[in-house]
Amino acid sequence: MAGTVAAPRWPGAATTIGLRDPRGSTLGIVNPVGILPEPIEALLETALVSELTVVDGSGLPVTHPLIPLYDGEVIYLTSSILFSKKLEHIKANPKVSVSISDPVAVDVEPFRRATIQGDATVDDSDLHAGWERVLPLWRKKEPAIDMFLGKRVALPLFFERAVIEVRPTRAFLWDDGATDRPPQVFELAKAMA
């Protein structure tokens, strides 16, 4: 460790995480409310779209735009079985990343960007209704989902869905969204262990 930050960077101390500076040294820092630093949590809470990247069978990354949902601990994404290739990939290789990059799709000031790496699991134990546990989080971002759900008869397979649960292990934050400057790097798993 290169040093310790005495005061929390964000209010509401909860867990300790490792922060590496852009040169690669790790700083001790106190995390706020949830698992992730507050600026990243704020992004997750408002973002209407994120990019979920999975690794396919040949080792190539495959990126899918999806709504990210967050409960302070786990990032949830849901996928219809109509678009379930990503679920097959995650089952074969649980390493994923979720990035939030679109300034139009987030409501935070000042704008920032983040990428979270983590380990994902697929909950497809009840495709018909299991995903409804994340419906309250989904509804906050896309109120029209209730209207679509009311027309379930018209889109029966769209509402057969799995839940992807991502447990963050590392996060990258670009404070002003500019990726021509190095990000802050948060080693979450190491500190949590």
Q: Which of 78, 115, 166, 188 binds another protein (CB under 8 A)?
A: 115
Q: Which stretch binds another protein (CB under 8 A): 3-11, 29-37, 69-77, 143-151?
A: 143-151
Query: Under rule CB under 8 A, which residues in 164-183 are in contact with another protein?
Result: 169-170, 172, 177, 179-183
Contact 87, 45 (CB under 8 A): no
3 state DSSP class of 39: helix
95 belongs to the binding site for another protein (CB under 8 A): yes
Q: Does 3 bind another protein (CB under 8 A)?
A: no
Among 13, 14, 33, 48, binds another protein (CB under 8 A): 48
Token digits of residue 15: 């867990």
DSSP state of 105: G
Tell which one of 108, 127, 135, 191 touches another protein (CB under 8 A).
Answer: 127
From the CB of 97, what's the least distance to another protein, in Å?
5
Could you tell me the two tokens for 25? Answer: 């040294």
Task: Yes or no: say if 188 and 125 are a contact pair by the CB < 8 Å rule.
Answer: no
- The rounded radius of gyration (Å) of the Cα atoms in the chain is 17
Neighbours of 59 (CB within 10 A): 7
Q: Does 53 bind another protein (CB under 8 A)?
A: yes
CA angle 145, 70, 138 (to 5 degrees): 5
Sign of CA dihedral 109, 112, 113, 119: negative
Extract the tokens encoding 10: 């964000």
Supply the minimum distance, in Å, between the C-beta of residue 165 and another protein: 16
> Can you read off the two tokens belonging to residue 163?
């839940």
Minimal distance, residue 171 CB to another protein, in Å:
11
Q: Is 31 in the site for another protein (CB under 8 A)?
A: no
Per CB under 8 A, residues contacting another protein are 20, 22, 24, 48-49, 51, 53-55, 59-63, 65, 80-85, 87-88, 93, 95-97, 99, 101-105, 113, 115, 117, 124, 127-128, 141-145, 152-158, 160, 169-170, 172, 177, 179-183, 185
